[in-house]
A and B are shown apart, each in its own frame.
Chain A
Amino acid sequence: MELLTPGSGLIIWQAIIFLALILILRKLAWGPIIQSLKQREQDIEGALQSAEEAKKEMEKLSADNEKLMAEARAERDSMLKEAMAVANKIKEEAKEETSEITSKMIADAKATIENEKRAALTDVKNQVATLSLEITEKLVRTQLGGAKAQKDLIEEYVKELNLN
């Protein structure tokens, strides 16, 4: 049957034409096409990779920024805290100093007053003694004859007075 018996001439022609076609197309078409496709795929791969890397870089940068910001904020906070502490300390110190000075002044004043008081008292005593002496002198002059007896008596009185 003709349909199922391959013609020998057609087999030879087909073998020659098909082989030639493979070789020609490999040289003219498939070689450059496959090469270009591969090149393009590599380019795309490369572009995607560099985009990914850029993204990572950006992420790293923003993370760094974040970190820097956080550090700056922390530093600011600590500086503020420190400054506050220093201010408080100064205030405290000033307060202490003031109260010390005040108390010292008060103590001084008290001491001065005490001294003044003592001096005043001594002065008063002396004046009282002098006055008493004068009074007594005048009194005794008029009442007592003997000077010696009179003077002993007066001194005794002054001593008594001095106890106060």
Chain B
Amino acid sequence: MTKTPRTSTSNLLITSFLALVFLFMNLTPVNAQDHGEESHGEAKEFNPSETIVHHVLDDHIWHFFDGHYGTLYLPIIVYSSEKGLDIFSSKNFYDDHHNLVEYKGYSLDHGLSLVDNHEAFVLDLSITKNVLTLLINALILIIVFRAVARGYKKNAGKAPKGIQAVFEPVIVYLRDEVIKPNIGNHYEKYLPYLLTLFFFILFGNIIGLLPGAANMTGNIAVTLVMALFTFIITNVKGNRGYWGHIFAPPGVPIALKPLIVLVEVIGIFTKPISLTVRLFVAITAGHIVMLSLISLTFIFGSIAVGAASSLIVLFINLIEILVAFIQAYVFTMFSALYIGLSTAEHEHH
């Protein structure tokens, strides 16, 4: 964070781009090794891939700008199998020069994950940057939609007004064009979940685009939980037709049945995985592209490049707003589709 981004070498440029490629392509932790080597060799160099990954990941502090007051130290809540529950400020992990230090036998690995120095099991329940953003997002949603609901009480029997008029078309569109066609007649009990899902993702995506904000909907834990909610609803509410199609697929020769059943069972799990990865990748990729373009300025150390990349970043930012809507729509649509598939009233056979 406090490193001065001045010098640049073509070697560094190539490795950083390679690192970016690895971010998308490679699931093995090759990058972590790259980081290690780089930080050993050129300690004071500007390292774009490290900076970018650090920006995209969750953190125990919220860094707004350099300087004494630029960082918000968030509370650490940790449960360890050896020491039990402990709550303290993340400020304890940093000394006066913003270097990482140990505290109470815990330390922050690369400033990211909390580890026990005696390698005991640790459950990190800290209010991290993303947890705080989750809470802020939830609070905004509650405030906004309470206001919308109040609008209905106030303008009962009249045309919608103000914030109510902004969100009503969206809610009606989701209900009539996304949820109803995918689920069918019994769609109403799934409305609260799917509407919450859509607006949570949409607001989260947009909050994530604000300067200094956390990449909340681009975090795989956040998307995983939402996908699991859909997964649980799909399989708990799944009716005989749904399970019948999986374990006794109609119209399939007996010889092929084991294979088809295997594919269908895998299909149960690929649905939440695709939901998880799609949203995570779409949002994180957007953030990485923007951060990479901004990094170009520091790599070249040139104002001209800065001006050019700012223009491109502005353009990408507009696209990201579009992506924010599209991904919220897609997640909701697929959730509705999966729920609809598992609860559909099959009349054939």
A14-B27 CB under 8 A given contacts A8-B124, A29-B145, A36-B152: no
Q: Which of A1-41 contact B (CB under 8 A)?
A: 1-15, 17-22, 24-26, 28-34, 36-37, 40
A10-B193 CB under 8 A given contacts A2-B112, A4-B27, A21-B200: no
A29-B229 CB under 8 A given contacts A10-B130, A17-B138, A21-B200: no
For B58, give its contact among A1, A10, A12, A28 (CB under 8 Å).
A10
A10-B219 CB under 8 A given contacts A4-B27, A28-B146, A34-B191: yes
Tell me, yes or no, whether A43 is within 8 Å of chain B by CB. yes
Q: Are A29 and B57 in contact (CB under 8 A)?
A: no
* Number of A-B pairs, beta carbon distance below 8 Å: 131
Bound complex: CA of A19 vs CA of B229, how far in Å? 9
Question: How many residues of B are counted as interface, with CB atoms below 8 angstroms from the partner's CB atoms?
Answer: 57
Q: Are B134 and A14 in contact (CB under 8 A)?
A: yes
A2-B28 CB under 8 A given contacts A25-B195, A37-B171: no
Q: Are B200 and A18 in contact (CB under 8 A)?
A: yes
Question: Which chain B residue lies CB-closest to A34?
Answer: B191
Q: Are A25 and B145 in contact (CB under 8 A)?
A: yes
Tell me, yes or no, whether B188 is within 8 Å of chain A by CB. yes
Q: Are A6 and B192 in contact (CB under 8 A)?
A: no
Q: Which of B125, B196, B200 has the most CB of A within 10 A?
A: B196
Tell me, yes or no, whether B221 is within 8 Å of chain A by CB. yes
Tell me, yes or no, whether B222 is within 8 Å of chain A by CB. yes
Q: Are B53 and A2 in contact (CB under 8 A)?
A: yes
Q: Can you list, as one digit per residue, whether each of B26-61 has a CB less than 8 Å from chain A (1) or not (0)?
A: 111101100000000000000000000100111000
Q: Are B135 and A33 in contact (CB under 8 A)?
A: no
Q: Are B131 and A13 in contact (CB under 8 A)?
A: yes
Bound complex: CA of A32 vs CA of B142, how far in Å? 13
For B125, give its contact among A12, A25, A30, A34 (CB under 8 Å).
A12
Tell me, yes or no, whether B128 is within 8 Å of chain A by CB. yes
Q: Can you list, as one digit per residue, whether each of B165-208 has a CB less than 8 Å from chain A (1) or not (0)?
A: 00010011001000000000000100111011000100000000
Q: Can you list, as one digit per residue, whether each of B104-138 has a CB less than 8 Å from chain A (1) or not (0)?
A: 00000010110000000001111110110011001
Which B residues lie at the A interface, using CB under 8 A? 23, 26-29, 31-32, 53, 56-58, 77, 110, 112-113, 123-128, 130-131, 134-135, 138, 141-142, 145-146, 148-149, 152-153, 156-157, 168, 171-172, 175, 188, 191-193, 195-196, 200, 219-222, 224-226, 228-229, 284
